Amino acid sequence: MKLLVIGSGGREHALVWKLAQSPHPTRMWCAPGNAGIAAERLASNVALVECVPVSAEDLPALLDFAKRERPDLTVVGPDNSLAAGVVDLFQAHGFKIWGPNQKAAQFEASKAFSQDFMERHGIPTAKSGTFAEPVAAKKFAASLDGRCAVKADGLALGKGVLLTTNVREAEQAVDEIMVSKAFGAAGQRVVIQELIEGMEISLHALCDGKVAKLFPTAQDHKRALDGDAGLNTGGMGTYSPAPFLTDTQLTEVGDAILKPWLRGCAADNIDFRGLIYPGVMLTKSGPKVLEFNARFGDPETQVYLTRLESDLVELLLASCEGRLAGIELKWSTAASVCVVMASGGYPGNYAKEKVITGIGEADALPGTKVFHAGTALKDGHVVTSGGRVLGLTAWRPTLAAARDAAYAAVDKIRFEGAQFRRDIAAKALRA
Ligand code: AMP
Ligand code: GLY
């Protein structure tokens, strides 16, 4: 079968890598892809994956491509394409496509939508309010003594959340989002949550509109610097499994969130076929959902897919076709660790087109994979082209060994200004 993958990040490289291992695809494209994706080969016939210069957000061009090449399945990586309705568009033209439709993608595209949904359907979350004008927002923030998470309603590249610990900071955050429009139209409304404390974990569940199959645990490291200091980023590293929940506790937490979520989807006529990713805080009074994403996490995907033993093409087809009930997801007992190497200055401004060396050597290490994120080919060299550049991922029988192996791969890589955290998985190893 012919497969089209939409996106260009580390998540998409991991998706392509895993999909390419399936015996089913005989041709695969990625729009637009990156330098690492362009070097992947299909297990069925060793054909290279073909990167096509079509942006993940250019829906008309994606549809034109699909009409020309007629993929049997399209797999969507990024939130923007989903929020823009790529799934509805492809379906309207008779193409099979994996990912939530535009209505279902609102779980990520609108924090106000998600918060209202959680409150109506009894999903444990933080105390919160949604506001369309700053005076009322500030009044609510003051009622929380300014200890808040102030969130732009819409998509903001993972940057639209400001954490505040006093009333003055909270008022500034409201002004930044609603008055200065720091995140553009995403800040038309704000959601303000009480600040809650605990251990944060990522949950992923694959859904087919009726059932949700929970993945093992993973933990991301969102801050730029060691010790969770510095600015929020898209994610600087992940590991799986996270030791803060036993298998039984994971099932309980999953049920507490996903059972009311599925009931709510049915009640509200939301046909969610795709990946639901709740960001969860484990608090003293139980798990609380901070937000929903409606796609695979990045860099969670890199650690999940290096542990997944099931055929990903078959799983995504089952998710599209409402057939997940009878299907079991098989995971290796190995631990996996992904360390992100980013451009100097990320998540702020950074230079591009720095030559990267050592990728081949790192990739040659056993149980190790270099997932590309912001990379491109220039004059025969792999160069940097984005904030997050590479995800050095290694899997081993123990978390400590996986961590050491991921950093051994980091040691092989050189590019000017490279920046990475040295404490990925350290919290778990201390626990
Ligand atoms: P979000 O994009 O909504 O997950 O928020 C980004 C990050 O801000 C999360 O990963 C948390 O670390 C933090 N955060 C969000 N909401 C809260 C909250 N209510 N209390 C404490 N931290 C939060
Ligand atoms: N790992 C954070 C995200 O994908 O949103």
Please write down the HEC assignment for all residues of the chain: CEEEEEECCHHHHHHHHHHHCCCCCCEEEEEECCCCHHHCECCCCCCECEECCCCCCCHHHHHHHHHHHCCCEEEECCHHHHHCCHHHHHHHCCCCEECCCCCCCHHHHCHHHHHHHHHHHCCCECCEEEECCHHHHHHHHHHCCCEEEEEECCCCCCCCEEEEECHHHHHHHHHHHHHCCCCHHHHCCEEEEECCCCEEEECCEEEECCCEEECCCEEECCEEEHHHEEEECCCCEEEECCCCCCHHHHHHHHHHHHHHHHHHHHHCCCCCEEEEEEEEEEECCEEEEEEEECCCCCCHHHHHHCCECCCHHHHHHHHHHCCCCCCCCCECCCEEEEEEEECCCCCCCCCCCCECECHHHHHHCCCEEEEECCEEEECCEEEECCCEEEEEEEEECCHHHHHHHHHHHHHHCECCCCECCCCCCHHHHHC
Cross-strand partners of 368: 394
- 146 neighbors 166 (Cβ within 8 angstroms): yes
| pLDDT value at 391 more than 90 | yes
Give this prediction's pTM.
Answer: 0.97
pLDDT tens, residue by residue, 371-381 = 999 999 999 99
Q: So what's the pLDDT on residue 232?
A: 87
Q: So what's the pLDDT on residue 262?
A: 98
Q: So what's the pLDDT on residue 78?
A: 97
Instruction: Band the pLDDT of 158: cuts 50, 70, 90.
Output: confident
CA of 128 to the centre of ligand 2 (A): 22
CA of 169 to the centre of ligand 1 (A): 16
Instruction: Determine the length of the chain.
Output: 431
Instruction: Band the pLDDT of 107: cuts 50, 70, 90.
Output: very high
**Of the ligands numbered here, which is closest to the C-alpha atom of 292?**
1
Alpha carbon distance 168, 295 (integer Å): 35
**Of the ligands numbered here, which is closest to the C-alpha atom of 223?**
1
pLDDT tens, residue by residue, 48-92 = 999 999 999 999 999 999 999 999 999 999 999 999 999 999 999
Determine whether the shortest distance from the Cβ of 108 to ligand 2 is under 6 A.
no
Determine whether the shortest distance from the Cβ of 158 to ligand 2 is under 6 A.
yes
Q: Which residues line ligand 1 (CB under 6 A)?
A: 126, 149, 151, 161, 163, 193, 195-196, 200, 222, 232, 279, 290-291
Q: What are phi and psi of 117, to 5 degrees?
A: -60, -45
Mutate to test the pocket of ligand 1, among 283, 290, 293, 298 (most ligand atoms within 8 A of CB): 290
